[in-house]
Amino acid sequence: MSIEANITKFLNTPTDNWDFLKNETEESLINSIKELGISFTFKTKPRIYQLVGFILGVSQSSFLFFLSMGAGKCKISLDVLAYRFQQKQIKRALIVVPYTVLLDTWEEQAKIHSNLSLLPLYGSTVEKWQKLNLINKEQIVVITYKGLLCLLKHPVSHRKQVKEIWDEVKFERFVEKFDTIILDESHEIRNHQALQSKLVINIASRMKYVYGLTATPFSKNPVQVWTQFYVVDRGYALGKNLTLFRNTFFNTEIDEWGRYNYSLKMEMSDELYKRMKHKSIRYKKAELTTLPPLVKNIITLHFDKEQKKAYYNLLSGFGNEQELKKRINSFYKLRGICSGYVSDKIDIGDGENEKVFDEFKFNPKLDWLLSLINGIDEEDKIVVFYAYTQTGDIICNELDKLKIHYSRLYGKTKDKVKAINKFTDNKDCRILVVNNASGALGINLQCANYVVYFETDTSPIVREQADGRCHRQNQTKTVFMYDLVMKNSIEEKILEYV
């Protein structure tokens, strides 16, 4: 069969659209639940869009919930699981999350919204297996994507190289414990070639019920969404294989380095989004119940003479393809200069290098941040996002000098839950200094109503997730968001991109 015939056959398969539920009243949704023969008592009262999610979750064996941050994806999932346990439809559920801190989030949410028993899998791989082998009455197990991979992967030699696969014996021991899987931040499996994604797809294929949750199914290019749909419907909505999906909806281009790039065919965009609705529903923030205003501000700052000289000296000489590698390596240095320091490597002997940092005497971003801290009311709190460890060090060192109480969350934070609780529960701790990757997902920071991006992340997905940490359900104040951007610098391009 030709490519065109395959595409035509694929597009002729019928699809559903669940958007009509978004127009229903709360009363009609409750009646719909009764008409489905469902008898269930919610532990916490659901909002109207959570009722929609519950109806879809209990009526569909697999589904994707694309809900804006703060919409209550955890509650919807827990309500669906509680109903299925009540009906004895499932024996145990597996929830996979991107970060360790989310193990605590799910444990906390389970206590609030359900009476289900939950086991978060912390510790080493050996400790995780010990807990799994002793599992008894726990109804839900929560593990990180990385932890799941470490639990089941197995290195093998192949053509004088070591590659990783999963151990089939361990795989069978693991999957037999579950019949339901929930993928929190399902966009984590967007790379179909990654071992992590392949492992999740295979686990999901053995499950009775499969659900995915995310506010950001893809960044700028919807080509990333195929894997998420494949895991819930085995290719019905978006194609049995990635080639069919790409051939149907995307133009293919090969760049000068031989890499394939895919851009959406504009004439096929409506068809793509129509087919996505077959196994998903999406609520954007504007569709949720009324939130306080979000006021976004771009603060354009100017280099001082020392910064400007360092910045443009680094830019000089990048005029040909031979300089490409140097240009890529300099990206981080340029961002560092924008944030107030120069980074470099020095030879310390024996062929080893040590990274050193030299701060500028004047840092416009730091100066602006301190003026904000001194200018807001005492009951207000600030979340400061940054990208690089040295930037976080500079911010925290200055706060230490001024004896300003703060909490910090980043890769080296040993007790992340304690760091978050210090900020949320202690009225004297008014500032959270948080790395983009550590703080963008799964953290509720409605206690803060000021957000400062000292450095924004370069990923639109991470940025959108970070935006929703403070401006979400249960926020009672207007949220003020500030991007600190150096004029005529790479930061203007980054902000334009995200």
Q: What is the pLDDT of residues 184-201, one digit of tens each?
A: 989 999 988 899 999 999
Tokens matching residue 7: 């595409």
Alpha helices in 287-355 (DSSP H): 305-315, 324-338
| Strand partners of residue 380 | none
Q: What is the per-residue pLDDT across 242-254, written as a single tens digit (0 to 9) for each? A: 999 999 999 988 8
For residues 81-89, average pLDDT: 97
The CATH class given to the 294-307+363-497 domain equals alpha beta
In order, the DSSP letters of 237-292 are TT-SSHHHHHHHHEEEEE-TTS-EEEEE-GGGHHHHHHHHTTSEEEE-GGGSS---
Q: Is the pLDDT of residue 202 over 80?
A: yes
For 353-369, what is each residue's pLDDT tens digit? 667 789 998 899 998 99
Distance CA 476, CA 85 (A): 35
Whole-number average pLDDT of the chain: 89
Whether the predicted pLDDT of 346 surpasses 60: no
Average pLDDT over residues 470-474: 84
Q: How many CB atoms lie within 10 A of CB 126?
A: 9
Residue-level pLDDT at 354? 65
Strands of 9-101, DSSP E: 62-67, 93-97
- Note the pLDDT of residue 245: 96
Boundaries of every domain in the chain: 3-286, 294-307+363-497
The string of pLDDT tens digits covering residues 142-166 is: 999 999 999 998 776 666 565 678 8
Give the residue-averaged pLDDT of 162-173. 85
SS3 294: strand
- The percentage of residues in the chain with a pLDDT greater than 90, rounded to a whole number, is 63
User: With contact defined as beta carbons under 8 Å apart, do 339 and 360 qualify?
Assistant: no
Is the model's pLDDT at 176 over the cut of 70?
A: yes
Fold: same for 3-286 and 294-307+363-497 = yes
pTM of the model: 0.73
Long-range CB contacts (within 8 A, 24+) of 339-343 = 339/363, 339/365, 339/386, 339/388, 339/391, 339/394, 339/454, 339/455, 340/307, 340/364, 340/365, 340/366, 340/391, 340/394, 341/390, 341/391, 341/394, 342/310, 343/390
Q: What's phi and psi for 315, nearest 5 deg? A: -75, -25
**What are the respective helix, strand and coil percentages of the chain, to the nearest 5?**
45, 20, 35
86-129 residue pLDDT tens: 999 999 999 999 878 788 889 989 999 999 999 999 889 999 99
Contact (CB, 8 A) for 369 and 301: no
- Give me the pLDDT at residue 321, please: 45
Superfamily of domain 3-286: Tandem AAA-ATPase domain (3.40.50.10810)
